Structure 1
Amino acid sequence: MRRYQCFHRLVGAAVVMAALGVQMPSAHATSPAGSFHRVKLDPAARAANRRLAKAVSRALGHTPGIDATNVTVRARSGMVVLSGSVPDAAQIDRATAVARQVNGVTDVKNTLTVREAGQ
């Protein structure tokens, strides 16, 4: 159990570091929807993004049938990006569904891939 908690703290720290310098694209930007750009955010917005990413990460970690060991969650103003890898394709769709059910999530971009056996 302690190993699990330690892992989630490390994942949380990685999410916080990733969330500190990201921004949603503007309406007239040429980047694809859901991509993030670096911008300085106010402390309250950063804290809200961290809380949302942590809530999604926690939901994924507590959902049976999802191996969230290699999943990174980034959040920005309700938009959540899932990245990393899972052992099988069924978990990709399940992770999206779980993330959408978290309070505060407005949209989910899932870039998860299937991890090859032995990795």
Structure 2
Amino acid sequence: MKSVDFLKALSGVVAVVVACNVYAQASGADTTAAPAAATTSAKTVKKADRQLGRKVRAAISKAQGVDVSNISVRARGGAVTLTGSVPDQGQIDKAGAAAQGVAGVTSVSNKLSVVQQ
């Protein structure tokens, strides 16, 4: 009788070990799929940042009296950074205002400098 109880207990333990092993393998498969989703998401974010940067540059180029030839625009998550040089202080202000007016821009870091040409 003791050997029958022992075999029942042993088969129960084996069933639990097999179930845990199957669960661990299934969980491992899910975690390998997550980086692919993260990569896709990162690509989407970068694409949106580039698109916002292009929109800001286009808005600055449409602003009257702003020379965009030496202005670089970087966008990251709605935050826009303007770097480069312009001939006078008025263009710095106009470029910052034009960038702030673009939909999707949350903040503008205006690091433009005045360089006489």
RMSD of Structure 2 on Structure 1 (CA): 1.4
Distance in 1 separating the partners of 2:93 and 2:64: 14
In the alignment, structure 1 segments of 5+ residues that lack a partner are: 1-39
Q: Which of 1 and 2 has greater Rg? A: 2
Does the 8 Å CA contact 2:74/2:80 hold for their aligned counterparts?
Answer: yes
Give me the TM-score of the superposition, normalised by structure 1.
Answer: 0.63
Distance in 2 separating the partners of 1:94 and 1:64: 8
In the alignment, structure 2 segments of 5+ residues that lack a partner are: 1-38
Distance in 1 separating the partners of 2:100 and 2:62: 15
Partner residue in 1 for 2:50: 50
Distance in 1 separating the partners of 2:62 and 2:54: 12
Give me the TM-score of the superposition, normalised by structure 2.
Answer: 0.64
Q: In percent, how many aligned pairs have the same letter?
A: 44
Q: How many residues align?
A: 78
Letter in 1 for 2:102: V
Once the two structures are TM-superposed, the CA of residue 62 in structure 1 deviates from its matched residue by 1.4
Partner residue in 1 for 2:94: 94
Q: Would you tell me which structure has more helix in proportion to its own residues?
A: 2
Letter in 2 for 1:97: A
Does the 8 Å CA contact 2:63/2:94 hold for their aligned counterparts?
Answer: no
